[in-house]
């Protein structure tokens, strides 16, 4: 049992997500690495939700889509997913099924417990199968459910006894040393990155799959010493963030694609008025309402082009949980140093899957944000012309500082002007800033190369596909280039791709957006594309087969 | 003598109501900077889009000339981030009552400690004369040559039912009264709303119309400004007589105060 997956399936309202996290924490506590994929529908009750909890002795960054132990609280969720059950050595527990002849429903009724506690029965069965001391089960349940733990412990006990009575085959786990890498969702990592960077306000209007970022920050706001504001809409959210930056206080805005659409004019405002701004887009399948609770990478072009007119911007896409934290910190650095919008592209798969995080969660006292502060004391010019296009920053509230920030084209001191020379000077200033960003990014390592650099087969991708790709190419003659900054596009990779004879672009959309960006920026053709657009993330096994067919 | 004017040449049509609003606020701010009640560096003036939007060029204070309709949330963000700032937003009837109307309502019900001054001239001037949400029925604008068919909104009633804690109407033809209102609005702790009836000299010259109708609430011993229901009833008065003055003024805990403990 070095690498196996537990399937936990039921209806919305049966505690699947929380149950999966609890199972994940249990195995984490036993020294195993965990990856949890939550597959849920856009419903409050009913439907067929499930989680895959992958458990492994080595670090895993993807789900498998192959289930070894199955707990299905209803027959329909079992039927819908049974093709993904491992054909060998599986254990299947379906409500009312003949094999073990028992019912989660009747156990819950017997215990007079609410149905969202059903997963605790599974926890008890797992304890029996894997010979896990019941004390550990109790410990995990207490730390997870506090006041509700007695009932959950009772249910786990019922599951354990049931497994004992039915003489279910045991599969003891090997004892492992504890790993101190907490299990965390991608959105939580983005949140912690933001707080580490110095974010004081989070402004967001609820939209799946970014709402979990909002609720995580709201739940922890006192601990993080921040304020979390839910305004009337996405436009108000981003305008408040712009106001906060203008006053000198770092903030962040989070949403999904549809929210970015609404924020377009304000993103242009931040670009033109040179306001630091960090925006998170947790992508989901569009267009329009699309498939709200599933995953896609179809906002690359949106992030690159949202907002009218021309202004410098930075678009970054973390690929795993550590990068979710680290790239968010960098986003704040960039936004405040260059005084321009930075968009962080995540997606449902990265943001709402849970895995072990290695990145440091310590808050420390180090100031992360720095900016070109105005130090002359008087005669402040908000848009002073400088060599790098970045003007000194000063905030309202200080003697002898008058900050004229202006959305109409302006003079150096921030007064409105439509004079041709002023217009030209300001446009060239912003262009100069773009060049500065592009130049600085040549030493920013916003890409990563995995595998043997000599390989002729090159896979390129961005964002959450990373985990599945790394695993898929483990035994294949291919290298993988992960692009982290989409804008500016890392120019250093030109050298890395020069010898590649077969370029395969992997992305989670229909049009191949990354491939187009790559081709236009690198002046090199992508030979093959592997595109997935059914809302479900790539799994390593299927992806490996897809890649194999295209290798030279 | 404090002078908060810049040297920029003011570019509004002769007879524009913006001059009166600009002057009234200038007097109130200068007086209170002079007597130490306002620290000039703590002032932030925000404007949206319209002829009036350029007003921030003419005051030598911190400013943010922003986009149409979004003055209230921008002001809220600034105030939340630095509560010691005095944040005054200018908006027009086009941005406050049309594209950004929801923001105004939500800022009011939150009781965010920002001041919102509306240049209400019932016409889009900068785009050459279209009707706005406050244009009367029958108004012939460049997009309604046969006359406006929509009912106008009543901003005073709207703000009262939205739980604004300071609601007033001013008139650009009565500067001294306007100064009286603006001073009260600025020193009100909480969300202050001042709708200013303002003629547009070029596209909607309403001087005569208002001149014959407006009267000061302060002249009739109106003492309902602590009672929201009576203020709402009073806000319906519009026709032969149009009341100007403070309809409602009552202090309550502000959004910024509450957020500290929320």
pLDDT of A363 reads 83
Q: How far is B67 from chain A (nearest CA, A)?
A: 7
Residue B46 has pLDDT above 80, yes or no: yes
**Cβ <8 Å between B64 and A200:** no
pLDDT of residue A178: 86
Give average pLDDT by consecutive 10-residue segment, chain A, 552 residues.
94 95 96 97 89 96 96 95 94 89 92 96 97 95 93 96 93 88 97 97 98 98 97 98 98 98 98 98 98 97 98 98 97 98 98 96 83 93 98 96 98 97 98 98 95 95 98 97 98 91 98 98 97 98 98 95
Mark yes or no for CB contact A415/B44 under 8 Å. Answer: no
Angle, vertex CA A301, rays to CA A297 and CA A306, nearest 5: 120
Taking an 8 Å cut-off on Cβ atoms, the answer to whether B73 and A231 are in contact is yes
Q: What are phi and psi of B189, to 5 degrees?
A: -85, 115
What is the structure's pLDDT at A220?
97
Nearest-angstrom CA–CA distance, A119 and A134:
16
Give A43-93 as a 3 state SS string. CCCEEEEEEEEEEECCCCCCCCCCECEEEECCHHHHHHHHHHECCCCCEEE
Cis peptide before A488 (omega within 30 of 0): yes
Task: Please give the average per-residue pLDDT across B126-144, as a whole number.
Answer: 95
Contact B54 A265 (CB under 8 A): no
Strands A33-39 and A3-12: unpaired
Per-residue model confidence (pLDDT) at position A202 = 98
The C-alpha atoms of residue A261 and residue A116 are separated, in whole angstroms, by 36
Q: Is A3 helix (H, G, I), strand (E, B) or coil?
A: strand
Q: Which residues pair with B47 in a beta bridge?
A: B65, B90
Q: How far is CA A454 from the centre of its chain?
A: 31
Contact between A438 and A479 under an 8 Å Cβ cutoff? The reply is: no
Q: Is the pLDDT of residue B126 over 80?
A: yes
- CA distance linking residue A257 with residue A269, whole number of Å: 18
Average pLDDT of chain B is 96
Q: Looking at beta carbons, which residues of chain A come within 8 Å of B82?
A: 247-249, 395-397
pLDDT of residue B217: 96
A293: helix, strand or coil: coil
The token pair at A429 is: 């200033």
What is this structure's pTM?
0.97
The answer to whether A397 contacts B102, with C-beta atoms less than 8 Å apart, is no
What is the pLDDT at residue B211? Answer: 94
Classify residue A497 as exposed, middle or buried by CB count within 10 Å of its CB (0-12, 13-18, 19+).
Answer: middle
Q: Please report residues of A whose CB lies closer than 8 A to that of B8.
A: 415
Cβ–Cβ gap B62/A239 under 8 Å: no
Q: Give first-to-last CA distance, chain A, whole Å.
A: 34
Tokens of B52: 């009036």
- CA angle, A395 then A398 then A401, to 5°: 70
Q: Which chain B residues are Cβ-neighbours of A227 within 8 angstroms?
A: 80, 259, 262
Asked if residue B221 has pLDDT above 90, the reply is no
Q: Which residues are A38's β-sheet partners?
A: A51
> Percent of chain B, pLDDT > 70?
100
Distance from CA of B121 to the nearest CA of A (A): 22
Interface test with A, best of B5, B80, B95, B102 (most A CBs within 10 A): B80
Distance CA B56, CA A408 (A): 11
Residues of B in contact with A396 (CB under 8 A): 41-44, 62, 78, 82, 85
- Give contacts of B61 with chain A, Cβ < 8 Å: 402
Q: Are A505 and A529 in contact (CB under 8 A)?
A: yes
* A449 φψ region: left (φ > 0), alpha (ψ -120 to 50), beta (else): beta
Interface of A with B (CB under 8 A): 200-201, 203, 227, 229, 231-233, 235-237, 239-244, 246-249, 251, 265-266, 269, 273, 395-408, 414-416
Model pLDDT, residue A362: 87
Q: Is B186 exposed, middle or buried (0-12, 13-18, 19+ CB in 10 A)?
A: buried
Which positions in chain A touch B56 (Cβ < 8 Å)? Answer: 404, 406
Assess whether pLDDT exceeds 90 at residue B225. no
Indicate yes or no: CB of B81 within 8 angstroms of CB of A247: yes
């Amino acid at each position: 049992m070095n690498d196996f997956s537990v399937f936990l399936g039921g209806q919305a309202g049966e505690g699947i997500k929380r149950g999966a996290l609890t199972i994940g924490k249990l195995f984490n506590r036993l020294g195993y690495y965990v990856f949890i994929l939550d597959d849920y529908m856009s419903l409050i009750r009913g439907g067929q939700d499930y989680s895959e909890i992958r458990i492994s002795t080595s670090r895993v960054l993807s789900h498998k889509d192959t289930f070894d132990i199955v707990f299905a609280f209803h027959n329909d969720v079992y039927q819908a997913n049974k093709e993904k059950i491992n054909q060998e050595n599986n254990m299947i527990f379906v409500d009312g099924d003949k094999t073990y002849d028992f019912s989660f429903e009747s156990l819950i009724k017997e215990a007079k417990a609410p149905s969202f506690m059903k997963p605790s029965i599974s926890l008890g069965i797992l304890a029996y199968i894997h010979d896990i001391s019941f004390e550990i089960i109790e410990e995990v349940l207490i730390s997870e459910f506090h006041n509700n733990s007695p009932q959950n412990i009772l249910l786990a006990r019922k599951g354990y006894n049931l497994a004992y009575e039915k003489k279910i085959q045991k599969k003891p786990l090997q004892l492992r040393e504890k790993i101190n890498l907490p299990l965390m969702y991608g959105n939580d990592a983005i949140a912690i990155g933001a707080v580490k960077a110095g974010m004081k306000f989070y402004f967001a209007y609820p939209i799946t799959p970014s709402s979990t970022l909002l609720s995580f920050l709201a739940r922890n706001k006192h601990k993080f010493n921040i304020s979390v504001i839910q305004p009337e809409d996405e436009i108000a959210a981003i305008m408040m963030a712009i106001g906060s930056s203008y006053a000198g206080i770092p903030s962040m805005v989070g949403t999904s694609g549809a929210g970015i659409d609404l924020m377009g004019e304000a993103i242009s405002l931040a670009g033109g008025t040179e306001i630091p701004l960090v925006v998170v887009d947790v992508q989901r399948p569009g267009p329009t309402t699309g498939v709200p609770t599933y995953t896609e990478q179809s906002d690359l072009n949106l992030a690159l082009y949202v907002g009218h007119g021309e202004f410098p911007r930075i678009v970054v896409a973390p690929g795993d949980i550590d990068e979710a934290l680290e790239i968010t910190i960098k986003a704040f650095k960039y936004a405040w140093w260059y005084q321009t919008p930075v968009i962080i592209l995540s997606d449902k798969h990265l943001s709402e899957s849970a895995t072990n995080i290695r990145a440091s969660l310590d808050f420390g006292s180090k100031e992360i944000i720095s900016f070109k502060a105005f130090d002359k004391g008087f005669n402040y010019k908000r848009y002073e012309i400088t060599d790098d296009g970045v003007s000194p920053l000063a905030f309202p509230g200080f003697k002898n500082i008058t900050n004229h920030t202006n959305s109409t084209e302006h003079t150096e001191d921030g007064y409105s002007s439509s004079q041709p020379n002023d217009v030209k000077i300001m446009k060239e200033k912003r262009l100069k800033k773009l060049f500065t960003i592009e130049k600085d990014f040549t030493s920013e390592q916003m890409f990563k190369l995995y595998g043997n650099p000599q390989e002729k087969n090159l896979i390129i991708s961005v964002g959450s596909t990373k985990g599945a790709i790394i695993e898929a190419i483990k035994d294949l003659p291919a290298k993988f280039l992960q692009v982290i900054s989409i804008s500016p596009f890392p120019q250093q990779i030109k050298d890395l791709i020069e010898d590649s004879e077969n370029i395969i672009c992997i992305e989670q959309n229909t049009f191949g957006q990354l491939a187009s960006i790559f081709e236009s920026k690198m002046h090199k053709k992508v030979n093959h594309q592997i595109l997935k657009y059914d809302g479900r993330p790539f799994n390593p096994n299927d992806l490996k087969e897809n890649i194999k067919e295209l290798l030279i | 003598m404090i002078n908060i004017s810049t040297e920029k040449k003011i570019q509004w049509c002769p007879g524009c109501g913006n001059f009166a609003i600009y002057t009234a606020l200038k007097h109130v701010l200068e007086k209170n900077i002079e007597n130490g009640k306002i620290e000039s560096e703590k002032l932030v003036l925000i404007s949206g889009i319209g002829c009036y939007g350029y007003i921030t060029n003419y005051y030598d204070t911190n400013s943010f000339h922003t986009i149409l309709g979004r003055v209230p949330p921008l002001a809220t963000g600034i105030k939340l981030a630095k509560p010691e700032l005095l944040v005054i937003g200018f908006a027009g009837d086009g941005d406050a009552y049309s594209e950004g109307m929801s923001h105004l309502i939500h800022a009011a019900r939150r009781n965010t400690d920002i001041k919102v001054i509306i240049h209400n001239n019932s016409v889009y001037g900068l785009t050459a004369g279209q009707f706005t949400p406050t244009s009367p029925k029958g108004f012939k604008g460049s997009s309604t040559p046969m006359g406006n068919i929509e009912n106008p909104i009543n901003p005073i009633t709207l703000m009262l039912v939205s739980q604004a804690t300071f609601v007033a109407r001013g008139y650009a033809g009565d500067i001294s009264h306007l100064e009286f209102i603006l001073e009260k609005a600025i020193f009100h702790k909480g969300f202050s709303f001042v709708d200013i009836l303002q003629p547009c000299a070029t596209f909607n010259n309403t001087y005569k119309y208002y001149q014959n109708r407006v009267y000061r609430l302060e002249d009739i011993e109106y003492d309902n400004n602590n009672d929201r229901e009576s203020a709402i009833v009073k806000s319906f008065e519009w026709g032969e007589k149009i009341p100007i003055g403070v309809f409602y003024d009552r202090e309550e805990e502000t959004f910024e105060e509450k957020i500290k403990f929320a």
